[in-house]
Amino acid sequence: MGEVIYLIKKGFAAVFLAVCMTVLSTVPAFAVDDALVTAPAAVLMEASTGKILNEKNAHEKRPCASITKVMTLLLVFEAIDGGKLSLDDIITTSAHAASMGGSDIWLEEGETMTADDMIKATVVASANDAAVALAEHISGSEDAFVDRMNARAKELGMNDTTFKNCNGLDEEGHLTSAADVAIMSRELIKHKKIFDYTSIWLDYLRGGETQIVNTNKLLKTYNGITGLKTGTTDDAGCCMSATAERDGMSLIAVVLGCDNGKQRFADGAALLDYGFANYSVEEIKTPAELPKSLEVKGGMADSVALSCEIDDSVVVEKASADEPEFTINLPESMDAPVEEHERLGEVVCKIGETERSYDIVSAETVEKTSFGKAFGYLMAAMVKG
C-alpha cells in the first residue's frame, strides 16, 4: 500500500516570524552564570514538561532544610485526594511533635488543630512541629511516614534523595539534590490546592492569637510568583524552591546552599528571569488537515472514522523562529475488519530539534463483509423502510 503524506507548514506567517525573531535575536539574552546565581547547586525546570532549562551541580547530594516539607506536603495532599485525610480533621499534637525545635508554632502536647491549620502552619511558617503532627496523623508515626517519603521519592525517580525526617532538621544522611527537589516540587504543584496556602503572606492561627508570616519573601517582590517553599539550617544553608507563572508558562527554580536569605531570593529570581526571558511553551493540537475518515475495503462500511486527540506542549526558545511542522502518515486504505481504537497511522510533529509522534486510531469498528451479515443488514434496512 502507498502512503498519503501531508506536510503542513505555516507559510507567510513562518517567514514573517523568522524575520522578527532574527531581529530580536540580536539583543543579548539574559544568561545565568556564577555571577548571577552564586548558589552551589541550582536547577530551573519548566513545570508542564519537566524540561530542565538550566542547571548547576544539579545532582550534587546536599541537605535541603525545610525544602524537605515539599515531599511531606505532597503526601499530605495525596492523602486528601485518597480520602484518608480531610481538611476538617482534628489533629492532636503528640509529645514527639511538640518537641521539635527550629521554626515552629509552639504546639503543646495534647493541643489540637484542624488539618487545614496544620497545613497552613507548615507551608506559611515552615513549622516543624506541625509537619510532624501531620505525618503522625497520616501514618501513625513519623518513622512510618518517612518510610513512605523515601518510597515515593523512588517512585518519582529521585535517586539522589534519602529522607531521615519529615521536616528537614539537620540529620546525618538526610540528603537530596537540586534536580530531585525540582521533581518533587513539580509533583506537588499538580495539586492546585497548594497554591491556596503558598500565596498567603500573613495569617493567624488559634483564633487570631498566633500570627504567621510567609517565609517566601518573593511573594512581595516577584511578578508571577506562586510559591513554593524555603528552608534554612546550619548544614543546608539557605535553600528555596520557587514557583512562578507568566503567559501560560510555569517555572520551578531551585537553589541550595546559599550563604544568606538575600542571596537565596536573588538567585531564585535570577533563574526565573532567565526562564521567562528565553523560553515559552508551544501548545500542540490536532492539525486541522487530519483526514476525518479512511477508506475500508471489503467491509460492512466503505470507510472508518479516524481519531487523533493531541493536547500536548513543548518548550521552545524565544529566539527560535521554529514553527510546528506536522507530517501525517496514513495508508491509502485498510482491509476489513477494523477494530475500534486500532492504530492506523501517526501524526509526527517537529518543532526545532524536538520531534513527537501521536497515534491515529479508528474511532469505530468496521466488520468484514460476509453473506450472512450483508443479508442481515439488508433485512434490517427493509424492516426500517
- Kindly list the catalytic residues: 66, 69, 126
Sequence-ordered list of residues with C-beta below 8 angstroms from that of 71, at least 6 positions apart, any chain = 149, 152, 153, 163, 166, 184
Q: Which helix (H) or strand (E) holds 90?
A: strand 90-92
What spatial distance separates the first Cα and last Cα of the chain, rounded to whole Å? 39
Number of neighbours of residue 262 by Cβ within 10 angstroms: 11
Residues 230, 126 contacting (CB under 8 angstroms): yes
| Residues in a beta bridge with 47 | none
| Residues in a beta bridge with 151 | none
- Rounded CA-CA distance 84/229 in Å is 24
- Rounded CA-CA distance 345/331 in Å is 7
Cell of 377: 443488514
Output DSSP code: residue 162. B
- Rounded CA-CA distance 102/122 in Å is 12
